[in-house]
Structure 1
Amino acid sequence: MPDDPALAATDARKAAFSRRSVLAGVAAVPLVAAVPVGSPTLQEAAGRAGMLFGAAMRANVIASDAALRTAVARECGVITPELELKWAWIEPQQGRFVFRDADRIAAFASTTGKTMHGHALLWHQSIPPWVAQVLADRPDWTIMRRFMAAVMPRYAATVRTWDVVNEPMEMGHRMDGLRPSPFLQAFGPDYIHRALDEARQAAPRATLFINEYGLSHDLPWQRDKRYLLLKLLEGLKRAGAPVDGVGIQAHLELVDQSSFRERVLADFLDELGNLGLQVRISELDVKEADLTATVPVRDRRVADAVGAYLDVALDNRAVGSVTCWGLTDRYSWLDEGRNVGNRGLPLDRDFVPKPVYDAIRRAFERRLVND
């Protein structure tokens, strides 16, 4: 997952902006390269198919880049905060809640007619140090309850879906496949059910998800993870836990593309749908394997991988939305600290639509035709 709680340490990287400045930026700054006149945007294509398209964003980037604001306003129906709703960001010290950046994204979403996806309440890589200490010393569920009760109702008008537990699975540790996180160590396997119950209390109308990666390819560890995640979900449903859906993190890596099997993904989605669960393609992007090829060749490889994936995913009616982890290569976690020029998102660094943009749009259009 692209995140690091240490990013919350400085305010220098997070510029302030008001609703007025956001709207002015959207109105005043066009895309560097627009989608051809008459062609639907990604959200328009998704909407026609009864779906949502979205992208993950950071508050400081939305604040500082008017062209990005224009692109998001044009292309997206839902916005996911990359960092700003995670516990380490929201409550760095016990009882001191910092909502400023999440509020800014929520305001931008509201003023541009978008919803915001709540990502993510419990994640092992975004635990404030004070929480880790409490969980280690004297496990106290009340801190979990207070956190959710403070955060979720605040965004009830904008957030309709929440990732309640993010990445609870990790192979190689336990027979049930659960990650040995501080939450598991403090409260045992039942922490997932308890967290879902707390989330339902705090946001009765929200749709509650478990979000996980490594579920799409025909690799041994992913086969095990799919099987054990289904067992977890079956158990939660049987016990009456309010789990509504699963987010599938589609961080595709071209080095693994030979292990992609359409039937494997299709069967897994069928099993999720048979459990009555909604599915979000929650973090779509592509990590390239060969940066030495020409740009047209690289872009075609990325587009082919995404097209093959979405053609399978969108064939299943349990899948209701697609969110990319970023919208433009200018701001991609796959490039952070490396500057390799990865081209795994719909728009390039100059906001020009690439072949993968067309692949995503065609997948939505194919879904509409097949309905």
Structure 2
Amino acid sequence: MVSTRRQFLKGTVAGSGLASLNLASIKSHAAFTAATETGLKDLYAKDFKIGTAISGANMRAADPKFMGLIAKEFNAITMENNMKWERLNPEQGKWDWEIPDKFMAFGASQNMYILGHVLVWHSQVPDWVFKNAKGKDINARKLKARMVDHIEQLAGRYKGKISAWDVLNEAVDEGNGWRKSPWFNIIGPKFVDLAFNTAHEIDPNAHLIYNDYNMHNPDKRDFVVKMVRDLKKRGVPIQGIGMQGHVALDYPSIKELEDSIKAFAAEGMRVHITELDVDVLPAAWDHIGAEISTNFEYSDQLNPYTKGLPAEIEAKLASRYSDLFKLFLKYRDDIERVTFWGTGDKESWKNDFPVRGRTNYPLLFDREYKRKPCYDAVAALKK
């Protein structure tokens, strides 16, 4: 068994690029080791945590087979939407804790690293947070009070139970400095200090993260590095940077991702690879990003794989995931966790973003939660 496994690794993974990943060999190896295979969390136990985001629908259903898969494969979990403001606190004074409580109980039962997502964000926030009864922006004093109350309610409810918080999400614009969100426009840049300081006061043991997409972008990277330095100078508690991993088969480059990992780690930040998925579909008008308000018109040309993923694209996907995890392993001492944005292809947000109604294949498990060749490529790096 050992010699066969070594031969597989030598022939399919040790090299780089598509040629090093033979799809037939991956499938053969997967079948060969099926009886003894463990979850990804076990394979990467000495490197970093392996996580997934769980949807509200899956959490509500709590299907034993699905939850068993989560427990076997992952040791970190994120609530996909139900800790966001519009789901949790849609009306002033009205809170819905059902799904978050179930999520927390499941994570605790499996002794998982639980990521709270998210305390402060410009998207998926109900209008009442920023507006008065006449539809006008409230003043800075009132908005600060609403932010503090929200963090006290949410972080306070799960104090001592949450491993880490995405305190602030997507507050930086591409090449334009601060995003001109209602938080920034009403309070100013010190809203960042308020968010982190409040989260730390409420739960001093939670690991506090700034999370954003396109963190490979040099302008965004440099701005975030400066932000971290400024926050630390003022004594603001920030310990981690989340690099959203919404990538494609051919962008961004491994070097761009590596440069950002190195830059954030150099500032003393724990690096989190968050929301990882690999888009295999044609780019919509060269759209790159994760701003959820973006949407493009559907066309068949942008949805070519409705009947299944061609073997050539499947192999490219496996190669891409292999290259990404080689990079993550290179910086295992700086990376806290790698979290996928979903578990199976059917539930992925990439089916509807940035074009609604497409059939995408961005994750390690297929629409029936069966392991794909890209799963086996990631697993093979540790065997």
Per the normalisation by structure 2, the TM-score is 0.78
Deviations 1:163-202 (A, max 9, x none): 0000111125x4xx11000100111111111110011001
Q: Extract structure 1 runs of 4+ deviating beyond 6 A.
A: none
| 2:50 is the counterpart of 1:41 | no
Pairing of 1:1-371 with structure 2 (within 5 A): 36-49=34-47, 51-64=48-61, 65-134=63-132, 136-139=137-140, 140=142, 141-171=144-174, 174=176, 177-216=177-216, 222-254=217-249, 257=250, 259-289=251-281, 291-292=304-305, 294-316=309-331, 317-336=333-352, 338-363=356-381, 365=382
Structure 1 unaligned spans of 5+: 1-32, 217-221, 367-371
Deviations 1:131-150 (A, max 9, x none): 02058222221111111111
Distance of aligned partners of 1:294 and 1:85 in 2 relative to their CA distance in 1, 3 Å threshold: closer
Correspondence for 1:30: none
Deviations 1:49-92 (A, max 9, x none): 3x211100113223334432121121111110011111122211
1:151 shift after superposition: 0.7
Correspondence for 2:21: none
Q: Distance in 2 between matches of 1:271 and 1:359?
A: 28
Q: Distance in 1 between matches of 2:103 and 2:236?
A: 30
Distance of aligned partners of 1:264 and 1:115 in 2 relative to their CA distance in 1, 3 Å threshold: closer
Q: Distance in 2 between matches of 1:325 and 1:227?
A: 25
Q: Distance in 2 between matches of 1:328 and 1:237?
A: 39
Contact 2:309/2:361 (<8 A) preserved: no
Once the two structures are overlaid, the 10-residue window that deviates more, 303-312 or 69-78, is 303-312
Contact 2:89/2:95 (<8 A) preserved: yes
1:35 shift after superposition: 7.7
1:119 is paired with a residue whose SS is strand
Q: Distance in 2 between matches of 1:187 and 1:130?
A: 16
Residue identity matched to 2:139: R
Correspondence for 1:5: none
Distance of aligned partners of 1:213 and 1:35 in 2 relative to their CA distance in 1, 3 Å threshold: farther
Aligned residues: 321
Residue identity matched to 2:244: Q
Residue identity matched to 1:137: I
1:95 shift after superposition: 2.1
Give the structure with higher Rg (CA).
2
Contact 1:35/1:353 (<8 A) preserved: no
Distance of aligned partners of 1:333 and 1:260 in 2 relative to their CA distance in 1, 3 Å threshold: closer
Deviations 1:103-143 (A, max 9, x none): 11112222233232100111111212110205822222111
1:322 shift after superposition: 0.5
1:243 is paired with a residue whose SS is coil
Contact 2:78/2:117 (<8 A) preserved: yes
Contact 2:160/2:206 (<8 A) preserved: no
Q: Distance in 2 between matches of 1:311 and 1:294?
A: 24
Correspondence for 1:27: none
1:339 shift after superposition: 4.5
Contact 1:269/1:313 (<8 A) preserved: no
Deviations 1:200-256 (A, max 9, x none): 00110000000000023xxxxx221112121111211222110101000000123xx
1:133 is paired with a residue whose SS is coil
Q: Distance in 2 between matches of 1:360 and 1:206?
A: 30
Aligned identity (percent) is: 28
Distance of aligned partners of 1:185 and 1:35 in 2 relative to their CA distance in 1, 3 Å threshold: farther
Deviations 1:20-58 (A, max 9, x none): xxxxxxxxxxxxx99812223111112133x21110011
Q: Distance in 1 between matches of 2:109 and 2:337?
A: 21
Q: Distance in 1 between matches of 2:360 and 2:337?
A: 24
Correspondence for 2:294: none
Contact 1:265/1:313 (<8 A) preserved: no
1:286 is paired with a residue whose SS is strand
2:164 is paired with a residue whose SS is strand
